[in-house]
Amino acid sequence: MSDPTQPPADPTGSDPTSETPAAPAYPSYPAPGAPAAPGTGQAPAYGQAPAYGEAPAYGQPPAYGQNPYGQQNPQDKYNVLSIISLVSSILLISLVGIITGHIALSQIKRTGEKGHGLALWGTILGYVGLVGGAIFAFGMIALLIATASTSGYNYN
């Protein structure tokens, strides 16, 4: 540690009693020049557009179809009805899945949103659930009729 009552040390190594400190000895480098334009051997003039096929010097433009600054493209969002169709069909609410699936398929065709596969599977699973529910209902009715007609009571 240094003594706080003493003056600060001079890093240049000059005499602390002298009035003007010596200038530090930094290496001198030449100023950077402007890059030469391709094929001309000269730097392009200020405000001059780059030659055809030459990329601008300030950065790379975003690729085709991409929005700058990480924004989401409007065609990248999923259709909400397609998600509702699939979820309701999985939860065995078949009629809702069928209706929302058909509406979602028509909206997707018109707007170009994502979710065609979700809507299609929601519609298919909705129809399968509806047919399965109908078969189950008819089977239960037939079982109830068969059980009621073959009662174990004997009337003499």
Q: Is residue 126 part of a domain?
A: yes
The CA radius of gyration of the chain, in Å to the nearest whole number, is 41
What's the pLDDT at 81?
95
In a domain, 125, yes or no: yes
Let me know if residue 131 belongs to a domain: yes
Question: Does residue 112 sit within a domain?
Answer: yes
Q: 67 in a domain, yes or no?
A: no
Q: How far apart are CA 71 and CA 66, in angstroms?
A: 8
Angle subtended at Cα 74 by Cα 106 and Cα 104, rounded to the nearest 5 degrees: 20
Assess if residue 140 is contained within a domain. yes
Q: What is the DSSP letter of 76?
A: G
CA 113 from centroid of its chain's CA atoms: 14
Q: What is the pLDDT of residue 67?
A: 62
CA-CA distances (angstroms) from residue 69 to 16, 58, 62? 55, 16, 9
Residue 25's closest CA among 8, 15, 13, 7? 13
Domain that holds residue 87: 78-149
Task: Output the six-digit token pair for 156.
Answer: 């003499």
Q: What is the pLDDT along the chain (156 residues), one digit of tens a residue?
A: 566 777 666 666 555 565 665 666 677 777 766 666 566 656 555 666 656 666 555 656 656 666 666 666 665 789 999 999 999 999 989 999 999 999 999 999 999 899 999 999 999 999 999 999 999 999 999 999 998 888 666 565
Task: Give the count of domains, the chain.
Answer: 1
pLDDT for 118:
96
Residue 1 lies in a domain: no
Q: Which residue is it, tokens 């078969």?
A: 135
Phi/psi at 123 (5° precision)? -70, -45
Residue at 116 is within a domain: yes
Q: How far apart are the first and last CA of the chain?
A: 120
At position 113, the amino acid (one-letter code) is: E
Q: What local confidence, expressed as pLDDT, does residue 148 receive?
A: 86
pTM: 0.50
